[in-house]
Amino acid sequence: MCNELQDDYQIFHLGWDEDDRIHHCLVHVRLKDGKIWVENDDTEVGIANILVELGVAKAEIVLAYHAPYLRHFSY
């Protein structure tokens, strides 16, 4: 899902596994206050790591899934 008006982007895993419905958010990223806010990341590599490899400065990435008082330790 891409909502360019609100700078909100998500990647979902949707479908069926036999009789079980699959609806899982793999990645949720928002652009807010000039930074990239990673709201959810269930990837193996980590979307923040990929962004850094692509040249995004660590200071521009907020791991929003960590509590605010812990974020300065995370990235």
Q: How far is CA 19 from the centre of its chain?
A: 29
Is the pLDDT confidence value at 74 over 80?
Answer: no
Which tens digits make up the pLDDT trace of 18-70? 999 999 999 999 999 999 999 999 999 999 999 999 999 999 999 999 888 88
Other C-beta atoms lying within 10 Å of the C-beta of residue 72: 8
For residues 27 and 13, the answer to whether their CB atoms sit within 8 Å is no
Q: Supply the pLDDT for residue 34.
A: 93
* Pick from 19, 21, 23, 20: nearest CA to 11: 23
pLDDT band with cut points at 50, 70 and 90 for residue 2: confident
